[in-house]
Amino acid sequence: MEIKKVKSIRAFAPASIGNVSCGFDVLGMAVEAPGDEVELTLTSDQRVTMKKIYGDSGRLPLAADQNTASVAVQSFLNSINSSQGVEIILHKNLPLGSGMGSSAASSVAALVAINHLMNEPYSKKELLTFALDAERIACGAGHADNAAPCLLGGCVLVRDYNPLDIVEIPTPDRLYCTLVHPHLEVKTADSRRILRKMISISDAVTQWGNVAGLVAGLMLSDYPLIGRSLKDVVAEPIRSVLIPGFDEVKAAAVQAGALGCGISGSGPTLFAFSDALETAERVGKEMKNSFLKNGLESDVFVSKVNKEGARIIE
Amino acid sequence: MEIKKVKSIRAFAPASIGNVSCGFDVLGMAVEAPGDEVELTLTSDQRVTMKKIYGDSGRLPLAADQNTASVAVQSFLNSINSSQGVEIILHKNLPLGSGMGSSAASSVAALVAINHLMNEPYSKKELLTFALDAERIACGAGHADNAAPCLLGGCVLVRDYNPLDIVEIPTPDRLYCTLVHPHLEVKTADSRRILRKMISISDAVTQWGNVAGLVAGLMLSDYPLIGRSLKDVVAEPIRSVLIPGFDEVKAAAVQAGALGCGISGSGPTLFAFSDALETAERVGKEMKNSFLKNGLESDVFVSKVNKEGARIIE
């Protein structure tokens, strides 16, 4: 049987900052760049296949039941009882195991594409459940703090999973994100395993005071409050041990004018917020220099908060 | 020596809901009524004295170094190196040990009065430090989650104590508070002692997700989100044991249309939020009935969020 290509589309989904420092496992924020792109083609074959992946140096699985993009699309098709054939080409621009929401970006781009090609049976928010199926493959747990902001854009609170309660937190206009990805890899599962199972009530109170401060700061466009609230006493003290030079790089960011700085997701990427583009670029330069002094090359990405989320680009 | 009365003033300070359910030790909210009143008179004597307390059935100390009102005033006067004499009459309308911020209301009313009579050397926010000195006398710890909203009005986040970081969280216009005070007394110190020193990371994440949801809900005027976020998995499961019939009374509140219900401060007063006055009154009635079935008389107070805080009334 000859497989016919019916319709084709291309979608983009951005990197995201999981946790946003104090908001461990509940907050995430999308940036404008970088992001993954997916080319999705409907075929007459009744299978979902990964045709090609660019940019991963051959490290991601092509097996359809193991790649987050194809798992998400399969989950989507199952929900509408469709046996539509789909061919996926993934342009992997986000580094793997970087803490930038790489796995979520691939599945979300694929979901936005298939939803578009199938005449939008779902809202963006509704697509999240399929992205979570994919996150289970990638991270062993269906966390939404990357997938939700990647889909919807902006800063997103995942208040609850039963049922899923997603709250979009407005963000101020002059908030610039610097992402600095040092060339080392931390697996989410490893980074999660080293965390403590119990924490002191005093640390917990400090943390939710900061979470409240961060949400209020974002909504009030109170940049100094955002900066004061970017403190994580729960995950950062432990996870930072896996990032050589963490304390110095963070100090360099603040010294260069950043409002605050923390680990993006489970690391090793660090993020910093600034209230001006110029500052955000200077912050990136100083963080990169500081990583270099610790023997690590790194890539720097500077952009605004992405207010739109994943989108069709072609 | 004859003591001359120089100048006199009267001030009001409202009850407040400490914690606001999930916001343990960081959030507080002032209500319009009830509240304490203080009459403050400058005298030619160089001492701060408690002249009379009405409404406490003789239970509060008249010794100036033990009453929160006089301790706060003394702390204020020390800060400006003043040996001004002051005579305080306290009209105690808030029940003691009720979880309604009774001790804070007395000190805050006294502070607003003395600040006014001394030509306002301090802003309201600056007065907080003196109220904390008084809270240390009353509760053994200088918590600000009652004193700050009592002073400033509205919902207040105490993000940090070193240095003190107080954030005013805007509240929606149609938020009505029902306070139901059952006739039993719980001491803050006792209620604090029974709490766990360590909590699971999973409970902590649930709690700060709810704190973020509550802050966002208040600022977005999203009443259902406020309701969904009023969940406390840390203090309520333990403290509620000290309140006979707690589960039934809470269920009665929700059944009657409340957005949510929880323990005010360290209890035993319960609070409920509603989005209409009529609902808030019905909620109060049903909660009172439910307490009665559990053998407890109670008082019901219904009012809006107090957006002004403590004030001079005469």
Residue A140: pLDDT over 80: no
Q: Check: CB of residue A180 under 8 Å from CB of residue A284.
A: yes
Cα(A177)–Cα(A221) distance, integer angstroms: 15
Which amino acid type is present at position B125? K
Q: Check: CB of residue B72 under 8 Å from CB of residue B122.
A: no
Which amino acid type is present at position A228? R
Q: Which of B198, B119, B314 is nearest to A202 (CA)?
A: B198
The DSSP symbol for A133 reads H
Instruction: For B118-132, write each residue's pLDDT tens digit.
Output: 999 999 999 999 999
Residues from chain B that touch A199, judged by Cβ atoms under 8 A, are 198-201, 204
Which of B165, B167, B208 is the closest to A208 by Cβ?
A: B208
Cα(A105)–Cα(B42) distance, integer angstroms: 68
Residues from chain A that touch B211, judged by Cβ atoms under 8 A, are 208, 211-212
Q: How far is B160 from chain A (nearest CA, A)?
A: 7
Which of A26, A197, A204 is the closest to B212 by Cβ?
A: A26
Residue B1: pLDDT over 60: no
Residues from chain B that touch A22, judged by Cβ atoms under 8 A, are 208
Strands A85-91, A48-54: parallel, antiparallel or unpaired by DSSP?
Answer: parallel
Residue A32: pLDDT over 80: yes
State the alpha helices, DSSP H only, in B153-241: 188-193, 201-220, 223-229, 236-239
Q: How far is CA A136 from CA A13, A133, A139, A159, B278, in A?
A: 19, 5, 6, 19, 46
Within its chain, how far is the Cα of B197 from the centroid? 24
Provide the mean pLDDT of chain A.
Answer: 95
Contact check, Cβ <8 Å, B165/A213: yes
Instruction: For B48-79, write each residue's pLDDT tens digit.
Output: 999 999 999 999 999 999 999 999 999 999 99
Residues from chain B that touch A225, judged by Cβ atoms under 8 A, are 159, 167
Class of residue A149 by CB neighbours under 10 A (exposed 0-12, middle 13-18, buried 19+) = buried
Contact check, Cβ <8 Å, B159/A212: yes
Inter-chain contacts counted by CB atoms under 8 A, chains A and B: 125
pLDDT band at A70 (very low <50, low <70, confident <90, very high): very high
Residue A314: pLDDT over 90: no
pLDDT of residue B188: 67
Q: Check: CB of residue A166 under 8 Å from CB of residue B222.
A: no
Average of pLDDT values for A36-59? 95
Q: Range with the lowest mean pLDDT among A124-138, A216-230, B24-38, B243-257?
A: A124-138
Of residues B50 and A1, more confidence is placed in B50
Run of H or E including A20: none
Instruction: For A72-129, write each residue's pLDDT tens digit.
Output: 999 999 999 999 999 999 999 999 989 999 999 999 999 999 999 999 999 999 999 9
pLDDT of residue A142: 73
Which amino acid type is present at position B215? V
Dihedrals φ, ψ of A56, to 5°?
-105, 5
Q: What tokens does A271 get?
A: 């993020």
pLDDT band at B142 (very low <50, low <70, confident <90, very high): confident
Q: Which of A200, A205, A210 to mutate to test the interface with B (most CBs of B within 10 A)?
A: A205
Residue A49: pLDDT over 60: yes
Residues of chain A in Cβ contact (below 8 Å) with chain B: 22-27, 157-160, 165, 167, 169, 195-201, 204-217, 219-220, 225, 228-229, 234
Q: Range with the lowest mean pLDDT among A159-168, A265-274, B169-178, B179-188?
A: B179-188
Handedness of CA B191, B192, B198, B203 (dihedral sign): positive
Provide the mean pLDDT of chain B.
Answer: 95
Run of H or E including B1: none
Q: Range with the lowest mean pLDDT among B1-5, B90-94, B159-163?
A: B1-5
Cα(B99)–Cα(B15) distance, integer angstroms: 9
Q: How far is A22 from chain B (nearest CA, A)?
A: 9
Count Cβ atoms below 10 Å from residue B83 Cβ, excluding itself. 10
Q: What contacts A278, CB < 8 A, 6 or more positions away?
A: none
Residue A188: pLDDT over 70: no
Q: Which of B159, B199, B203, B226 to mutate to test the interface with A (most CBs of A within 10 A)?
A: B159
Average of pLDDT values for A157-175? 96
pLDDT band at B143 (very low <50, low <70, confident <90, very high): confident
Percent of residues, chain B, with pLDDT higher than 70: 97
Cα(B84)–Cα(A44) distance, integer angstroms: 91
pTM for the complete prediction?
0.96
Contact check, Cβ <8 Å, A27/B225: no
Q: Which of B281, B138, B57 is nearest to B146 (CA)?
A: B138
Q: Check: CB of residue B287 under 8 Å from CB of residue B180.
A: yes
